[in-house]
Amino acid sequence: MSLLALPSTYHRLTGIRAEVDLGALRHNVSVLRERAGAAELMGVVKADAYGHGAVAVARVLVEEGVRRLAVANVPEGIELREAGIAAPILVLGAPLPEYLPAYSRHGLQVTVTSPTVATDVAEAARLAGPLTVHVKVDSGMHRVGVGPADAFDVVRTLQDAPGVEVEGIMTHFANVDRTFTMQQLGRFDAVLAALGDYTPPRVHVSNSGTVLHVPEATAGRTDARVGGALYGLVLDRSASASVEALRLRPVMRLVSRVVHVQELAAGETVSYGRTWTAASPALIATIAAGYGDGLPRGLPSTGTVGIGGRVYPVAGRVCMDMMMLDLGPPDGAGAGVAVGDEAVLFGPGGPTAITAAGDTQSIAYALTSGLTARVPRVYVGASNGPRIVADTDEAEAEAGR
């Protein structure tokens, strides 16, 4: 049984927790809606809503008027359906033929990524039941998608297939470099021009990056797919200033506690491999967080953790369940750190998730979505000031209030 399935008070019995601020999520929806203009937001809640908890997040999004959701695969969509989420759910991943009956059974929308998938969809709709699809055009990402030369035939084939509703057409941008983004957009718009009256009713191209940095790409589209920005995240440090300028708020704060403090003599080493050596007498704090919780094992000594309003560098290798911090000399500012103190791995009181991820040459999306199931998600409400709501059932009830 995972910690997320335990009774709501049990999260207090582990040192680490991820605080999810639903008020910040609501705020970000408002900011992004303004940024997207006439385009409707499609809330991307794949990978358990980037680690924030898909069901709780989806309920807030629906309450805030986000009418469409997107996930990565069929089980993610089924989880939302079983939780009572009735909004349209687009599965972004490329489907294999054997998956398609489940789309029909659970009312999930299919992303058509090739002429072969289009043929499979037509057959599945005949045998298993009606299917709603969005055709994905590969305009230069070269991951999945129908080539521009095949798009017209694919759309017409699907529109002629009994039981298939072609609701949307889309593409995905490789980056937010304006030059290449506009090249991709030109290829996609050429497809729309060729389709003419056969263009599906819903057209979407923008992800979080282009909503934030290339807003003209969203103009004239019916929808904008927003994922990371919903959670106050961007891909790297270079974009973090724009997030602050756009008033987006971080939704997750990852917190642990100090479980041990000791003094080391000069020359003593810390953790596996003895990669960190005390150059002079030093205090070392151990906190209850490690790669078993989803933290990068390769977090270097340039990484920091916040305690009591100060940040302290990581000392030595991150272990499965614990990591150590260099508090500095025994008579320094770190001497006030004690067992039980709160340690902020990212979020207010510590480094940002963007900074923490950058310390390992990673991205904030990978950091939050990589947190394991043993990290309890503790939800913070925001209707009349923040309050802590325990995880699972109580939190989901609060999120859907």
Q: What span, in angstroms and rounded, lies between the C-alpha atoms of 172 and 146?
A: 12
The superfamily (CATH) of domain 22-231 is Alanine racemase (3.20.20.10)
The region of weakest confidence among 145-154, 174-183, 205-214, 238-247 is 238-247
Is there a catalytic annotation at residue 272?
A: yes
DSSP annotation string for 236-269: SGGGHHHHHHTT----EEEEEEEEEEEEE-TT-E
Q: What are the Cα distances from residue 175, in Å, to 46, 47, 56?
A: 19, 20, 29
Bridge partners of 133?
A: 110, 166
Question: What is the average pLDDT across 153-174?
Answer: 98
Phi and psi, residue 364, nearest 5°: -60, -35
Is there a catalytic annotation at residue 136?
A: no
How confident is the prediction for the chain on average, in pLDDT?
Answer: 91
Determine the pLDDT at residue 25: 98
- Span 252-375: which CATH code? 2.40.37.10
Q: Comparing 148 with 359, which gets the higher pLDDT?
A: 148
Rounded to two decimals, the pTM is: 0.91
- Where do the DSSP E strands lie in 140-291? 164-170, 202-204, 223-226, 252-264, 269-270, 276-277, 282-287
Question: What is the average pLDDT across 393-401?
Answer: 41
**Angle at CA of residue 8, ends 349 and 60, nearest 5°:** 70
Catalytic choice (46, 50, 291, 365): 46
- CA 388, distance to chain mean position in Å, is 22
Is the pLDDT assigned to residue 6 strictly greater than 50? no
Determine the pLDDT at residue 385: 34
Residues 22-65 have pLDDT tens digits of: 999 999 999 999 999 999 999 999 999 999 999 999 999 999 99
Residues 282-308 have pLDDT tens digits of: 999 999 999 999 999 888 878 999 999
Q: Domain residue spans in the chain? A: 22-231, 252-375
Is the pLDDT assigned to residue 399 strictly greater than 70? no
Local confidence band at 210 (pLDDT 50, 70, 90 cut-offs): very high
Q: What span, in angstroms and rounded, lies between the C-alpha atoms of 284 and 325?
A: 6
Residues 76-92 have pLDDT tens digits of: 999 999 999 999 999 99
Q: What are the Cα distances from residue 296, in Å, to 148, 185, 272, 291, 307?
A: 39, 36, 15, 6, 20
Q: What span, in angstroms and rounded, lies between the C-alpha atoms of 121 and 152?
A: 16
Is the pLDDT assigned to residue 4 strictly greater than 60? no
Catalytic choice (99, 103, 272, 291): 272
Determine the pLDDT at residue 394: 44
Is the pLDDT assigned to residue 169 strictly greater than 60? yes
N-to-C CA span, the chain: 27
